[in-house]
């Protein structure tokens, strides 16, 4: 349940200083624009009006104008777009035209040619993302959490050439457990710490510690590979997983969970004692609890105990809202999200709930 005084997930509240319209510029994100209008930016889709005259009203581009109107007492956002029109390559520029009657042209050889006017649209710029791409792009195409047996069954490093133990960039090494018909490129991992649900003790997953990349030079048993990227020290027994294709950045649509949920922050990449905006955190809720890409959760900070000045007894203070996290990567038992806002420092074991 959400704490008293917090807006319910379906409450739409405009900011007091919201604009009536806003022109999108390059570098904007959907979250940034939503924050200009709404106190709760994840509610953007609830007041978005599709414009049927626009080819893809779900995507927003630089140059678009976001307009706020009140309809039957409720806020409504819509987009105005000037579609750019250009002739096909090789033809001179002409002003845009709408469908018109046929024109008849008589060339010098006496033939009669009927021309149909056509409208050719210029490709629009790349749609603005929900969040800045470089924030999470490196974490979309490699495992962040694994099951223990997943790495146990993977290929592994046996020895570096020239008896090297720690492998660096450009180091060649031998590995076993790789199929001859397997891929050319691999990512190197090490099994990290177990991640448990702090409330139930359930094992959720193991951290997958990304160490670097490698390219196979020769197949066989052992296979020969070379390290192409180093993020951390690479050692014998470290595991090799096929490198996935580069993932494109999805266009997330922020939304609250469909049900009331409650979980915990269980890990943080490059963890510090205190976590701030744009940090990546693991939470103890997964697809089985309804998490999907774009789900927004409120982070509640454990304030702790206080002493009553009258009774001198210790009592538990209520949790305080400290930020918002948006999920971008899901597994069955846990998910990873990006801290979007933080009004006070966030810590591992803080609670996450339906906003």
Summarize the confidence of residues 218-227 as an average pLDDT. 95
Phi-psi region of 122 (alpha: psi -120 to 50; beta: other; left: phi over 0): beta
Least confident of 1-10, 229-238, 325-334: 1-10
Report, as an integer, the average pLDDT of 87-109: 42
Q: Which tens digits make up the pLDDT trace of 151-202? A: 888 999 999 987 778 998 999 999 999 999 889 999 999 999 999 999 999 9
* The pLDDT of residue 31: 86
* pLDDT score of 219: 93
The neighbouring-strand residues paired with 194 are 206
Structure token digits, residue 52: 């049927």
The yes-or-no verdict on residue 89 having pLDDT over 90 is: no
Collapsed DSSP state (helix, strand, coil) of residue 66 = strand
pLDDT of residue 299: 96
The CATH fold of domain 262-353: Thrombin, subunit H (2.40.10)
What predicted TM-score, i.e. pTM, was given to this entire model?
0.72
pLDDT computed for residue 272 by the predictor: 65
- Over residues 62-86, the pLDDT tens digits come to 888 888 888 888 888 888 876 443 4
Tens-digit pLDDT profile for residues 135-154: 787 777 777 888 878 888 89
User: What is the predicted pLDDT for the residue at 187?
Assistant: 94
Q: Please tell me the predicted confidence (pLDDT) of residue 142.
A: 76
CATH 2.40.10.410 residue ranges for the chain = 262-353
Share of the chain above pLDDT 90, in %: 40
Q: Highest mean pLDDT: which of 52-61, 241-250, 273-282, 311-320?
A: 311-320
Per-residue HEC secondary structure of the chain comes to CCCCCCCCCCCCCECCCCCCEEECCCCCCHHHHHHHHECCHHHHHHHECCCCCCCCCCCCCCCCEEEEEEECCEEEEEEECCCCECCCCCCCCCCCCCCCCCEEECCCCCCCEEECCCCCECCCCCCCCCCCHHHHHHHCCCCCEECHHHHHCCEEEEEEHHHCCCECCCCEEEEECCCCCCCCEEEEEEEEEEEECCCCCCEEEEEEEEEEEEEEEECCCCEEEEEEEECCCECCCCEEEECCCCCCCCCCCCECCCCCCEEEEEEECCCCCCECCCCEEEECCCHHHCCCCCEEEEEEECCCEEECCCCCCEEECCCEEEEEEEEEEECCCCEEEEEEEECCCECCCCEEECC
Both tokens of 261, joined, read: 């949920």
């Amino acid at each position: 349940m959400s704490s008293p005084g917090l807006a319910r997930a379906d409450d739409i509240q405009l900011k007091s200083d919201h604009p009536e319209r806003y022109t999108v510029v390059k570098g904007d994100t959907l979250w940034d624009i939503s924050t200009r209008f709404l106190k709760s930016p994840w509610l953007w889709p609830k007041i978005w009006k599709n414009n049927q005259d626009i080819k893809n009203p779900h995507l927003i581009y630089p140059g678009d104008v976001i307009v706020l109107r009140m309809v039957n007492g409720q806020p409504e956002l819509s987009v105005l777009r000037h579609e750019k029109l250009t002739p096909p390559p090789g033809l001179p520029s002409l002003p845009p035209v709408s469908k018109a009657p046929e024109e008849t042209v008589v060339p010098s050889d006496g033939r009669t040619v009927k021309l149909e006017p056509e409208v050719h649209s210029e490709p629009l710029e790349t749609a603005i993302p929900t969040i800045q791409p470089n924030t999470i792009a490196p974490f979309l195409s490699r495992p962040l959490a694994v099951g223990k047996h997943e790495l146990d069954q993977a290929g592994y490093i046996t020895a570096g050439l020239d008896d090297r133990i720690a492998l660096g960039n450009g180091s060649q090494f031998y590995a076993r457990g790789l199929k001859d018909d397997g891929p050319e490129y691999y990512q190197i991992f090490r099994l990290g710490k177990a991640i448990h649900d702090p409330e139930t003790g359930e094992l959720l997953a193991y951290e997958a510690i990304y160490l670097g990349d490698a390219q196979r030079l020769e197949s066989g048993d052992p296979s020969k590979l070379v390290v192409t990227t180093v993020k951390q020290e690479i050692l014998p027994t470290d595991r090799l997983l096929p490198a996935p294709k580069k993932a494109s950045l999805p266009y997330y649509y922020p939304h609250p969970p469909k049900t009331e949920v409650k979980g915990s922050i269980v890990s943080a990449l490059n963890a510090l004692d205190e976590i701030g905006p744009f940090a990546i955190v693991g939470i103890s809720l997964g697809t089985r609890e309804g998490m999907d890409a774009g789900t927004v959760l409120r982070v509640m900070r454990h304030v702790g105990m206080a002493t009553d000045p009258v009774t001198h007894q210790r009592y538990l203070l209520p949790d305080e809202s400290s930020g918002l996290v948006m999920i971008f990567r899901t597994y069955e038992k846990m998910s990873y999200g990006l801290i979007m806002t933080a009004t006070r420092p966030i810590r591992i074991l803080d609670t996450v709930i339906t906003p």
